Structure 1
Amino acid sequence: MTPKFLGQSTGLPAAPEQAELDYVPNPRPGSPYLVRFTAPEFTSLCPVTGQPDFAHIVIDYAPGETIVESKSLKLFLGSFRNHAAFHEDCTVGIAQRLVAEMKPLWLRIGGYWYPRGGIPIDVFWQTDEPPRGLWVPAQDVPGYRGRG
Structure 2
Amino acid sequence: MARILALDYGTKQTGVAVTDELQIIASGLTTVPTKELMPFLKTYVSEENVELLLVGEPKQMNYEASESEVSISKFLNALKKEIPHIPVKRVDERFTSKMAFQTMIDSGLKKKQRQDKTLIDEISATIILQSYLYNPS
Structure with higher RCO (Cα < 8 A, 6+ apart): 2
Larger Rg belongs to:
1
TM-score over 0.5 (shorter chain): no
Interval of TM-score (by shorter of Structure 1 and Structure 2) = under 0.3
More helix by proportion, 1 or 2?
2
Q: Under a length normalisation based on structure 1, what TM-score does the superposition of the two structures give?
A: 0.23
Q: Under a length normalisation based on structure 2, what TM-score does the superposition of the two structures give?
A: 0.24
